[in-house]
Amino acid sequence: MAPLLDPRIETGTEAELDLSGEIVTVTVGRDEHTKRFLVHTSVICKRSKFFEKAMNGDWKEAQDKNIKFPEDDPEIFSIYVQLLYKGVLSTKKLLTSNTSEPSNVWRQEYAVLARVYVLAEMLMDVKSKNLVLDAMLSKAREEFEGVCYFPRLEMVKIIYEGTPSRSPARKFMVDCWSQITKGSGSLGTSSRDKIPKDFLCDLAITMLDLKADPNNGAKISTCDPTKYHEIDSDKAAE
């Protein structure tokens, strides 16, 4: 017998979407790679301070209800919109014993999550950033045939190029790599000129702290997920 799934939610919670607002057209990408997304202002403005300001100020975009992101990836924005409406990230791929390159599958998902995080950073969406970091942490804790895969340096580069200095996503990358380098003693064979200098500095400081107190570091497998959460200053003030 199939289990009974109760689709009800408590009224007045964040899970209850307000779909009464106007529609904004978001055009993402260039040329043949362009896609248009129709999003409720009542949904996206509640989460994104960027859209809240753009839709309520004396701007052309506010009048036309049309915003363009020509430099961004439509596929990444599509994942972000699903996160807004459904609260889920459609990035997970099932691994089986027949998967020939599990590390490549891990790498691809981390790259997508990193790019969604950078998009949420640009859109000033704290809740989405926290959800993406929860997904990254879950990914880092997953085991496949007894092995866990942490973010590669390509993902570190994406995060460091798209976030400010005190970003929790940077802290997460450093904590992952402090565990990797603690075990191996190196960053592998990657060319150091391709590694963000800020990351090397942050990692060096963390490694020195760990050397002084080995029990002081965050263990990815057991740490509190809220360690990497930002606090929405507007909601905290309410």
Do residue 154 and residue 58 come from a single domain?
no
Helix (H) or strand (E) holding 40: strand 35-40
Highest mean pLDDT: which range of 54-63, 96-105, 222-231 = 222-231
Residue 233 lies in a domain: no
Structural domain ending residue among the three candidates 9, 43, 72 = 72
Higher pLDDT, 173 or 194: 173
Say whether pLDDT at 130 is over 70: yes
Q: Report the CATH number that the domain containing residue 51 is assigned in CATH.
A: 3.30.710.10
Do residue 165 and residue 78 come from a single domain?
yes
Number of domains making up the chain = 2
Indicate the residue type of 174: V
pLDDT digits (tens, 9 = 90+) for 48-83: 999 999 998 788 888 889 999 999 999 999 999 999
Domain residues for 156? Answer: 74-181+192-223
Task: Output the pLDDT for position 218.
Answer: 65
Task: Output the pLDDT for position 13.
Answer: 80
What is the percentage of the chain residues whose pLDDT exceeds 90? 55
Do residue 130 and residue 199 come from a single domain?
yes
Say whether pLDDT at 97 is over 70: no
Mean pLDDT score across all residues of the chain: 87
Do residue 213 and residue 107 come from a single domain?
yes
Higher pLDDT, 180 or 122: 122
Do residue 175 and residue 97 come from a single domain?
yes
Which residues neighbour 130 within 8 Å (Cβ) at sequence distance 6 or greater? 228, 229, 230
Please give the average per-residue pLDDT across 13-27, as a whole number. 88
Residue 187 lies in a domain: no
Do residue 121 and residue 218 come from a single domain?
yes
Do residue 197 and residue 215 come from a single domain?
yes
Which of 66, 75, 5, 63 has its CA nearest to residue 35? 75
Structural domain ending residue among the three candidates 72, 92, 107 = 72
Task: Output the pLDDT for position 235.
Answer: 59
Residue 234 lies in a domain: no
34/199 Cα distance (integer angstroms): 33
38/78 Cα distance (integer angstroms): 11
Residue 232 lies in a domain: no
Residue 25: which pLDDT band, with cuts at 50, 70 and 90?
Answer: very high
pLDDT digits (tens, 9 = 90+) for 137-190: 999 998 877 778 889 899 999 999 999 999 999 999 999 998 876 555 456 555
Query: For residue 50, how far is the Cα from the chain centroid?
Result: 17
Task: Output the pLDDT for position 106.
Answer: 81
> CA torsion angle for 185, 187, 190, 193 (degrees, to 10)?
-120
Task: Output the pLDDT for position 53.
Answer: 93
Which of 158, 183, 179, 175 has its CA nearest to residue 225? 175
Task: Output the pLDDT for position 148.
Answer: 83
Determine the Cα angle at 174 with ends 168 and 175, to 5°: 90
Task: Output the pLDDT for position 175.
Answer: 92
Task: Output the pLDDT for position 15.
Answer: 76
